[in-house]
Structure 1
């Protein structure tokens, strides 16, 4: 195993041997503006006590130049990942001088050149273990310490870190910025951001505490930054969490920075939260997008307590922060902001991610067995986030909200600035709830899989709930009937405790019975025959958006599981989506329907289905209220559908051309224009001249990424061959540009152009994993998986590569399972009783 892949066992041993007292990290990025300069100077001074004479510091970079141990220069013993330390005393001061490498993968210190104005921007991203790409450190979450950062940078740059600036000194050709020491935190949540960022300041006051607030983005995006809206959400969140956690925000200031080419939605660095700049909307955005951004802001804020203040010992307990932040983000959104129905998005979008992940052969318990860093990197998944959050929502229903929050408060007070495991949390929650949560944790946190709940109606009027993979659930059962206006409304809701495979319930007959009404538990819900018949004719009459969302979710899960015909699902999507008023639900249906066409329908049925869906989206676009969120959602759906069927190519080009007919009120912002051009490119209706012209119109960071995707979407064998070559061999591509070329390679309906690359894929992924960073390798392994291949090809690789890295095998296993699901669905949807 590579020494870069730290294991749980060895980091636990190191933790028993040392205690870290503090770091001083000096970074010199004065040369960052010169693209020919690929490295930066990094000097770390770390103080620690030791109960051993030997240990190591972690560092991934261009080289280590010097090591000083307790004032004495010692020979450099560096293997490319670890710096060996020997001759240690009880108290030690070690200084390491090294050269770090600027990143283009979004890992470590990422450097971005803005094509809009030629400016250079830097930011760091570390989780789970990339701080060692920037400075030498003990790279594990349980070795917390205070950090003092000192950054040399160009004079005109904004420089931001976890703490406030205490000194800024002008020097020849630049500035030296010194930050106040942080509180005791883990390496992976330290941060440095530097560049000519545009900054807006404000503050929040709560009680006797005033917190300075900052929002930053690239200068070329300043005109699009809606800082006031972001500050509003931030203040609402700080008020909500401070009150409910009864523990003041501890990290002094709260900067939020929107950064380019980001691999994540956001990262919870205390005092310096980083976000994808996709949240700086360059044009029109739906209310669902604003809600999603608010949820992310609140998710990261919850981490200030769950994760930053109290941190897991090792990545097995990653859920102790991610599950809680996912749950708390939705809760705060629903209770502290204008998105009072935020649980609709949680039920329909976040849980869909969990259901998908939990049915893969690589699913794992919420409390996972994470033996090394490669496994940790892949564990930021739907189980750790969305299933964990769903289970916490069930815990609140089971133990009571007051007991849950009091347990959280006790947890923060008992473990502030420390590290915890599952046992520590259960101790506090059991004490406040008066329940022994050991069996609950065993059933929910230490098992895998998702239960399916269905209603059995007997001829005698009796009913029972049938549960596969039984677990204890507290859930609502809703009876829905038509009111005087013809709407379907809940006329009775009862709470039921399930534990067994069959649970009788006393429920009067109704046209629609909805299990898990109010979405209290984590389970797939099946509609009984009568309820499905009602839904099939009257889904648009269900007025409660959460109930409607649960029904849409049930329909989609049944389609994925080949229990509901894809054509039947598509029929409901076509009938009811134009009337769907909740934008989150509409967006989900507009994504699921084309997925069903491409993955679940047998190949002979796809052309007709593609055309039907394109025509539906086209009509809905023109019928949607002008300048509305639904109009924008339908315009994006047209772009997606038109990438698979070129029948509307001339009409779309007409919209793009100045003066051509277009739906009233449609805002043709750069992103939507690229969506349309990408569709034309994928069907062979746009050439290099078209795309080059659009790039001249939008020669920005986002524009260049969209250009690459469109360019490599064209249905031309030479284009696909060039894309393949670039993906595998061009090491100058950034993470975002690599992703765009992969998306272009896979785009469109001409699968015949890429099906010949399957053998090359399986021949290449071993070396890709060995030679590329894990983020870049993951994008390639997942993005290029040949969905046109047979299961035999994937099985053959797995059989002959049993000794491949576990993380690589996991990715291939997951893609193989998606393919197997597609093939099962296609066979199911070929049956006469399904198609007929």
Structure 2
């Protein structure tokens, strides 16, 4: 068996293992004193597992450089390790297994990631495991239903902060190293254990309520300390703990609450109990919009919800990943709106987060929220728009269906009955049925166990609500009339619908907004009269959520080829400058830029690029100085200027100081790099100017941005070097790989990269077999060619029917995106 096959654990074999093994505790001893030496690739890891068994033989998971010894019940065994599984035989009823091994420091964000800060040379470590990378750090039973009490003992350089899920209880040593032993955890799954170590900047606070106290910590790299707005992070944290403590009636169970912001992270955040990790993109080096701060608050609250949904009560297998992710995604927006200053959080959700769900749910690879996950590769790819955003949308419909009080009463019973255990869908349905007295089985069948998204429209005379892919919905229809040039809500009609056609009695109004309040999950179309009213007065509606739903409706219609791309862009041109909700504005600007590159017909794309560039230039000029809107327009300018050079001279002048930037616009490092990348993509700035910019900002972010800018230069040799580096340079970190891919694709220059199309299809299967899934999927998705026909991808799929299912899923999804692009463009001819 190859290492890759052995690493891909299946649902059936792990279920058999958990039936035969009763795990009690795991002690993990790590020696990371080698971390500061760049020539040292590995670290010492020793694991002691205590468990009962009803089988003579099992395997223990480990991926690393070497397994040096295996000791069973005090007797050393021969090492039987295939690179992913350590086979152990001769088990007794009660067992203690010690495994001494060498792990490998990671640069991909999988396992124990090591980063050296270019600013000060300091080294930082942190772990990231979900769904199955704790085996890169310790020997373990890598499946969520085998929970244990974990004790971590970490030897690290002296002077470092050393962190884990629990508080330190003993620190010993002297001289160059220290050994820190942490208190045992309560019973948790392997994928949410965590370790971090390094000279992190540390800030502390507390949360107290009813004589209970939780110590709070916040950490970032030392070189980012001046940008670390820890006061706001702690404020959101305390507001969240206040809310969850009351709503869930189950005291925060994990002792301390540390939050650490780490470099080169390969996702947004991770809910390790007591030590939550976040991408340090949430440490804003420069200006940040209120939408960015809202997004960070949402993520903080999302991860906090996991302390109960996911950590306290954990799904048995990854089929029920939604039991944690859908709930956390819902709670992130719900608590933001209910307990923080971000009271419009649902508007951002409706306009941006839900778009991810709609897109994913229209792919041929869509799946039910309760998914069929046969193995770990499938689990890795199911952290998607269905599990997160559709699941959260459906839960919002559930709250409308059963009522908020019944929803939280059911959650409290669920935590009380299953604390520190594992559950499936049925366990939650039992709790919700008891609290609501509603038929949760029928609701589950309609929403959790089906695929696809309904489309809701009014017929021509507005007397019937028509539904494709019928489901039961509880929703509202809002009536808006034009009064003195503004659209004003004049009525709201509440409806319960089920079938394909539902007779409705609606007042006469210029615009009828189906799903007003965004209670359900469905694509809501505007009838022609409503569309014309939106064209006239969209930006005059004083309800951000209503505007967000209308913008979402317009975008979905554009993606589906029902609203001409140029008509959509004209609505954006007319109304985006007056959009007062920065989160909605950022989403609209991104969708418009995507429309130009993907949905506008080929023969008019050059004109559309020029028009869009002038639109964002005017938006920047008109924006309120120092506002989040101004910053959003400035960022949109960077994207628009990367595909058209009409404003390159002005942008270059603002960067070198020969032209004044708009009043109030902070030309900080992040915005400068966005503009530099644009100038590089159109050939205005070359290698010397990019390196000059790097000398101004020789930081982790600056180096990553320079990689993208250098790869963006519109020269055949440059793009070929980027192509080969992406596929072949295994020293690239996950961030630098992403930057290289972005540079290769920059500027919309198919003429520079189409010669690599055939090589892409030759490379993807070997790279899937040779590289980790995190790196392989970045390559397969990021470098998929935008060919003018589907012939090449169809030929690959036909010739590779036996390829790994997860690889085929990515290719099929990318094919569908391309097919949509080609179809919508043809309709816009």
Q: Same fold (TM over 0.5)?
A: yes
The residue that corresponds to 2:473 in the other structure is 473
After superposition, the C-alpha distances for 1:311-356 in whole angstroms (9 at most, x for unaligned) are 0000000000000000011000000000111100111111000000
- Counterpart selection for 2:374 from 363, 371, 376: 371
Tell me, what secondary structure is at the counterpart of 1:56? strand
The residue that corresponds to 2:490 in the other structure is 491
The residue that corresponds to 1:328 in the other structure is 331
| d(CA) in 2 for partners of 1:749, 1:442 | 43
| d(CA) in 1 for partners of 2:434, 2:821 | 47
1:488 CA displacement:
1.6
Query: Are 1:174 and 2:174 counterparts?
Result: no
The residue that corresponds to 1:533 in the other structure is 532
1:660 CA displacement:
2.7
* 8 A Cα contact 1:758 1:789, kept in partner: no
Superposition map of 1:148-159 within 5 A: 148-159=151-162
* 8 A Cα contact 2:711 2:740, kept in partner: yes
Query: Are 1:82 and 2:85 counterparts?
Result: yes
After superposition, the C-alpha distances for 1:671-729 in whole angstroms (9 at most, x for unaligned) are 00000100000000011100000111100000000000010001000000100110111
Tell me, what secondary structure is at the counterpart of 2:285? coil
Query: Are 1:209 and 2:212 counterparts?
Result: yes
The residue that corresponds to 1:798 in the other structure is 797
The residue that corresponds to 2:665 in the other structure is 666
Superposition map of 1:688-699 within 5 A: 688-699=687-698
After superposition, the C-alpha distances for 1:624-676 in whole angstroms (9 at most, x for unaligned) are 11111111111101111000001111100100013532111110110000001
* 8 A Cα contact 1:683 1:748, kept in partner: yes
Superposition map of 1:89-100 within 5 A: 89-100=92-103
Tell me, what secondary structure is at the counterpart of 2:647? helix
| d(CA) in 1 for partners of 2:6, 2:125 | 27
Cα RMSD after superposing both structures: 0.8
Superposition map of 1:549-698 within 5 A: 549-698=548-697
* 8 A Cα contact 2:165 2:275, kept in partner: yes
Q: Unaligned 5+ residue runs, structure 2?
A: none
After superposition, the C-alpha distances for 1:507-532 in whole angstroms (9 at most, x for unaligned) are 12110100000000000000011101
Query: Are 1:778 and 2:777 counterparts?
Result: yes
1:170 CA displacement:
2.0
After superposition, the C-alpha distances for 1:115-142 in whole angstroms (9 at most, x for unaligned) are 0111111100000000000000000000
1:244 CA displacement:
0.4
Paired residues in the alignment total 826
* 8 A Cα contact 1:17 1:51, kept in partner: yes
After superposition, the C-alpha distances for 1:236-285 in whole angstroms (9 at most, x for unaligned) are 00000010001110000000000000111100000000000000000000
The residue that corresponds to 1:758 in the other structure is 757
| d(CA) in 2 for partners of 1:694, 1:820 | 39
Superposition map of 1:8-19 within 5 A: 8-19=11-22
| d(CA) in 2 for partners of 1:44, 1:618 | 59
Tell me, what secondary structure is at the counterpart of 2:506? coil
Superposition map of 1:392-431 within 5 A: 392-431=395-434
1:172 CA displacement:
4.2
The residue that corresponds to 2:285 in the other structure is 282
Superposition map of 1:232-381 within 5 A: 232-381=235-384
| d(CA) in 2 for partners of 1:540, 1:105 | 43
The residue that corresponds to 1:441 in the other structure is 444
Tell me, what secondary structure is at the counterpart of 1:794? helix
The residue that corresponds to 2:127 in the other structure is 124
1:751 CA displacement:
1.2
Tell me, what secondary structure is at the counterpart of 2:112? strand
The residue that corresponds to 1:106 in the other structure is 109
Tell me, what secondary structure is at the counterpart of 1:447? coil
After superposition, the C-alpha distances for 1:184-232 in whole angstroms (9 at most, x for unaligned) are 0000000000111000000000212100000000000000000000000
| d(CA) in 2 for partners of 1:735, 1:445 | 34
1:789 CA displacement:
4.8
Tell me, what secondary structure is at the counterpart of 1:47? strand
| d(CA) in 1 for partners of 2:742, 2:652 | 22
* 8 A Cα contact 1:642 1:649, kept in partner: yes
The residue that corresponds to 1:161 in the other structure is 164
After superposition, the C-alpha distances for 1:535-584 in whole angstroms (9 at most, x for unaligned) are 11111121111000000000000000001000000000111111111101
| d(CA) in 2 for partners of 1:548, 1:556 | 12
| d(CA) in 1 for partners of 2:626, 2:656 | 19
Tell me, what secondary structure is at the counterpart of 2:796? helix
1:491 CA displacement:
1.4
Tell me, what secondary structure is at the counterpart of 2:492? strand
1:492 CA displacement:
1.2
| d(CA) in 1 for partners of 2:769, 2:155 | 34
| d(CA) in 2 for partners of 1:821, 1:200 | 49
| d(CA) in 2 for partners of 1:644, 1:486 | 36
* 8 A Cα contact 2:485 2:537, kept in partner: no
The residue that corresponds to 1:828 in the other structure is 827
| d(CA) in 1 for partners of 2:723, 2:470 | 46
| d(CA) in 2 for partners of 1:656, 1:228 | 32
| d(CA) in 2 for partners of 1:675, 1:172 | 45
| d(CA) in 2 for partners of 1:172, 1:583 | 52
Tell me, what secondary structure is at the counterpart of 1:748? helix
1:809 CA displacement:
0.2
* 8 A Cα contact 1:121 1:196, kept in partner: yes
Tell me, what secondary structure is at the counterpart of 2:781? helix
1:482 CA displacement:
3.0
The residue that corresponds to 1:833 in the other structure is none
1:487 CA displacement:
2.6
After superposition, the C-alpha distances for 1:758-783 in whole angstroms (9 at most, x for unaligned) are 10000000111000000000100000
* 8 A Cα contact 1:489 1:544, kept in partner: no
* 8 A Cα contact 2:158 2:175, kept in partner: no
Superposition map of 1:665-744 within 5 A: 665-744=664-743
* 8 A Cα contact 2:491 2:507, kept in partner: no
* 8 A Cα contact 2:482 2:537, kept in partner: no
- Counterpart selection for 2:61 from 37, 58, 61: 58
TM superposition score normalised by structure 1: 0.98
| d(CA) in 1 for partners of 2:473, 2:226 | 49
Bigger mean CA offset, 329-338 vs 654-663: 654-663
| d(CA) in 2 for partners of 1:697, 1:645 | 26
Tell me, what secondary structure is at the counterpart of 2:101? strand
| d(CA) in 2 for partners of 1:232, 1:717 | 50
Tell me, what secondary structure is at the counterpart of 2:748? coil
* 8 A Cα contact 1:487 1:543, kept in partner: no
Tell me, what secondary structure is at the counterpart of 1:118? coil
1:790 CA displacement:
2.3
| d(CA) in 2 for partners of 1:11, 1:807 | 19
1:740 CA displacement:
0.3
The residue that corresponds to 1:193 in the other structure is 196
